Amino acid sequence: MATSPRAGSSEMRFKKVCKFCERGIRHIDYKDERLLRSFLTDRGKILPRRATGTCARHQRQLDTAVKRARFLALVPYIHGYYS
């Protein structure tokens, strides 16, 4: 799942750049569930920065956006839980 090196080493691979910064930022729209989904695991959890390479600022925006999207049922809280 996470692509960061394990076992004690917590370095982030700096090959990745923040996808939002790259494209010239903007505000992350909580309504854009396609975009949001790409930052969630298959279970619906929010991926850590070290896995996505997102910068701190955008990660915070992402978090709020995902939480709003979850509230609006655009994205599940837990995937596959509701049958």
Would you give the binding string for another protein spanning residues 14-53, x where CB under 8 A is met? --x--xx-xxxxxxxxxxxxxx-xxxxxx----x---xxx
Within 13 Å, how many C-alpha atoms sit on residue 9's CB side? 7
Q: Which residue type does 5 have? A: P
Q: Is 54 in the site for another protein (CB under 8 A)?
A: no
Whole-angstrom distance, CA of residue 33 vs CA of residue 63: 13
The residues that touch another protein, with contacts defined as CB under 8 A, are 1, 3, 16, 19-20, 22-35, 37-42, 47, 51-53, 57, 60-61, 64, 68, 70-77, 81-82
